[in-house]
Amino acid sequence: MKFIIPPALIFLLLFAGKTYYDTNTIEVKHFEISHSPLGEVLAGLKVAHLSDLHIKKIGLRENKILEILKEEKPDLILATGDFIGFKGPYESVLAFNSHLYAPLGVYAVLGNTEYSNENGSCILCHEERSKGLKKNQHPIFLRNSSFPLKVNGRTLNILGVDDPVSKRSNLEAAPQGKGLNNPTILLAHSPEIFEEASHLGIDLLLCGHTHGGQLFGIGYLQKLFPLIDPAIEFLDGFFQKGKTLMYVSRGVGNSFLPFRFGVKPEITFFSFSVNPSNSMNPSNPSTPVISNTLPTKIFTGFNFTSLIETFNILNLFNISGSTHSTNLSREMRSLSHQDPMNSKILFDFESDSDLEGLSWECHKWFERSETHVTSGKYSLKVMLPPGQYSGFNFRKVPKDWPESNFLKVDIYNPFQERFNFHIRIDDHKSGWEYANRFDKNFELKPGINHLTIPTHSIRTNIHKRPLNLKKIECLIVFLPDNPKKREIYIDNIRLE
């Protein structure tokens, strides 16, 4: 045994060193694309592509990215989603984005992690707790929309689709009736939209999401188990389909595992020319020619915080600063607003602070209303978009429900038609599995509806395990398979 331990320790140290280096070394890549319609507009200009930043705080990596961009001086910056970590804070992202600059602008799309944190009210592109877009968006977020960018008297179409991973993309709507007569770059978080983009004849599709696999050998797993993730078919680099050229970035940040091994993060820069002197004229003039130089490897540095962040596999350490505690204290103030004499009331929406406990997100809107009130002075007016699971959750639910017989909710349906309303409850053991949580569907008739759930019936869907009412973790309401935009009024969520 004593002969085995030293080699094992050496191997472990080498592995840890390699892992830290790969995680914290950014490859700066430069590509020149010629014989592309984009050269007609972007010849002589430099375009930067960022993806999957997964920012938790402004640290060594984030500062190094800004240094690289300052040194490279791109004319245009394009970012393809996943600015935050899974359920992470937005404040550091907003601070980082404020330092991004390019003469022709900064344009971006949202990724799936932006939708994992339901406390943002999509603050990246909207005013906080508002339906209105920021007047001076930075970056300009494209959500199934386009931006005609004027460059030296020519027009470049920049298209952006909402996150394809969460099925929010709508490429047909993105051109907004303007057509694709001009050279076009499409931004999408995931490469799974490649086929659709090629049918439209997009010139260049930029995306990310895959992290290049993040670990060496992930591409081989996809070949063995093709159902892992359809996006992994296009792991990283260039792909061509029809006239559409796609580039999949490895991204900069990390997901699920906090480290990389054998797959370094990257920032990519593109330049464009029509007939460069260093390339052969292709036999098919519609096929772009790509040339590149060897990537530059830039080590972001070493400090104790970065070391902990790289190997914080079990998320035992809070490295995102004080944001979480600030939000938590705000949530607790919202909950403590309840009248002690009405301790059985869970949510009654009598104060603006009660709105802070809702899962604000783009396309949703909440406001207090003096109509359709069943308790107090206000009800909650909710406007929901169409969708398979159109709804919201209460970010902070009182965990310890008293011994009561019923959960009750009052809902007003202003439509002259019936539709379904769904309530989901999780306890600390539920997770996200359908079998291990409680779900109840109701049909809302026109007018007021008084919904009642006996607490003894709050059991898991499959095995009928009674949920622990002293450790409730999640309360979600939604309109399943909602075909159109709707408004409802909710009031007096209580236990009796």
Structural domain spans, the chain: 5-310, 339-495
State the amino acid at position 17 in one-letter form: G
Residue 286: the pLDDT is: 64
Of the candidates 60, 128, 136, 71, the residue with the CA atom closest to the CA atom of residue 97:
136
Q: 3-class SS at 380?
A: strand
User: Residue 74 has which token pair?
Assistant: 């791109």
DSSP run (H or E) holding 180: none
Instruction: Report strand pairing: 106-109 vs 140-141.
Output: parallel
Cα 232 from Cα 239, distance rounded (Å): 13
Topology of domain 5-310, per CATH? Answer: Purple Acid Phosphatase; chain A, domain 2 (3.60.21)
Residue 229: the pLDDT is: 59
pLDDT (tens digit, 0 to 9) for every residue of the chain, 496 residues total?
666 777 888 889 999 999 999 999 999 999 999 999 999 999 999 999 999 999 999 999 999 999 999 999 999 999 999 999 887 888 899 999 999 999 999 999 999 998 877 555 577 887 776 667 777 888 999 989 999 999 989 999 999 999 999 888 999 888 875 567 899 999 999 999 999 999 999 999 999 999 999 898 776 665 555 555 555 778 899 999 999 999 999 999 998 889 999 999 999 999 999 765 444 444 565 678 999 989 999 999 998 888 888 888 866 565 554 443 334 333 333 333 444 344 488 999 998 888 877 877 777 888 999 999 998 999 999 999 888 888 888 877 888 887 788 999 999 999 999 999 999 999 988 877 889 999 999 999 999 999 999 999 999 999 999 999 999 988 999 999 999 999 999 999 999 8
DSSP run (H or E) holding 300: none
Residue 378: the pLDDT is: 95
Are 266 and 28 contacting, i.e. CB atoms less than 8 angstroms apart? yes
Question: Is the bond leading into 139 cis (omega within 30 degrees of zero)?
Answer: yes
| CATH code for the domain defined by 339-495 | 2.60.120.430
Cα 109 from Cα 140, distance rounded (Å): 8
What's the predicted TM-score (pTM) here? Answer: 0.74
Is the alpha carbon torsion for 241, 223, 50, 278 positive or negative?
negative
Residue 255: the pLDDT is: 83
